[in-house]
Amino acid sequence: MASWGVTPKIMRCNGGTGFSKLWMQPEMRQLLPAFCKLRKLSVRGIFVEFDLLWTTAFLLAAPCIEILHIEVWEHICDVDDKSRQLHTERRSPQWEMQFDGPKNRFLKELEFSGFRSLEQQFTFIRSMLERAPNLQMIILKGDERCEYCDALDTPRAVKFPKKGEQEMVVRRIRDGIFSPRIIFDK
């Protein structure tokens, strides 16, 4: 395993099989050499009930990021006994964040998959608006079901904002802060 100090560049960092228990402490300034030229970052597989503010630390580690994709999830296929044993303890990151860092002037697009109008999601999006003054577009997407969820053939609970609820979502996001274009993409 290479140390972060000697990694010349990271083209793609994927937390696939074998990395499901990988946890990164908020030492984002130390990650700057590896992430400094990163333009697109996807943070996937965040449990839906977790606080999301910790992900804003990536703006410090990747100051040139232009597109940030956040995916939260709650799969019905993940509630069986085997999955519960594999993921016995889900914890939201518990560390103190310093939010006084420089603003990210390059971030232009925030894509949020698994959006559900939860308070922690509104807090996260508004935090991104404060930290990324040149943000031009926010794309809100619903849940993406996997092949295992589809195989269970269970009814899907619709949690993505309906057409009539979308204006309320836009108002909650904007509420006195400059506003990029907000797109609802079910």
Residue 102's nearest CA partner among 32, 156, 165 is 32
Per the domain annotation, does 12 fall within a domain? no
Q: What is the pLDDT of residue 150?
A: 65
Q: Which two tokens stand for residue 152?
A: 């269970």
pLDDT at residue 93 is higher than 70:
no
Q: What is the pLDDT of residue 1?
A: 35
Calculate mean pLDDT across residues 79-86.
55
Q: Which domain holds residue 132?
A: 37-86+100-185
Q: What is the pLDDT of residue 166?
A: 95
Per the domain annotation, does 131 fall within a domain? yes
Structural domains of the chain, count: 1
Span 149-184, pLDDT tens digits: 766 666 656 688 999 999 999 999 988 777 799 999
Per the domain annotation, does 32 fall within a domain? no
Question: Which residues touch 153 (CB under 8 Å, ≥6 apart)?
Answer: none
Q: What is the pLDDT of residue 124?
A: 93
Least confident segment among 21-25, 76-80, 132-136, 156-160: 21-25
| This model's pTM is above 0.85 | no
The packing angle between helices 163-174 and 119-131, to 10°, is 50
Higher pLDDT, 9 or 94: 94
pLDDT at residue 74 is higher than 60:
yes
Q: Output the average pLDDT for the chain.
A: 76
Span 108-155, pLDDT tens digits: 999 999 999 999 999 999 999 989 999 999 999 998 767 777 666 666
Least confident segment among 78-87, 98-107, 150-159: 78-87
- Give exposure, 18-37, as e/b (b: 16+ Cβ within 10 Å): eeeeeeeebebeebebbbee
Calculate mean pLDDT across residues 63-72.
95
Query: Alpha carbon of 119 to those of 4, 32, 122, 125, 172: distances in Å?
Result: 35, 30, 5, 10, 10
Per the domain annotation, does 65 fall within a domain? yes
Q: Which two tokens stand for residue 115?
A: 């959006």
Q: What is the pLDDT of residue 173?
A: 92
Calculate mean pLDDT across residues 41-61.
85
Question: Which residues touch 129 (CB under 8 Å, ≥6 apart)?
Answer: 135, 173, 177, 178, 179, 180
Q: What is the pLDDT of residue 172?
A: 92
Q: What is the pLDDT of residue 102?
A: 77
Q: What is the pLDDT of residue 80?
A: 56
Q: Three-state SS string across the chain, please? A: CCCHHHCCCCCCCCCCCCCCCCCCCCCHHHHHHHHCCCCEEEEEEEECCCCCHHHHHHHHHCCCCCEEEEEEECCHHHHCHHHHHHCCCCCCCCCCCCCCCCCCCCCCEEEEECCCCCHHHHHHHHHHHHHCCCCCEEEEECCCCCHHHHHHCCCCCCCCCCHHHHHHHHHHHHCCCCCCEEEEEC
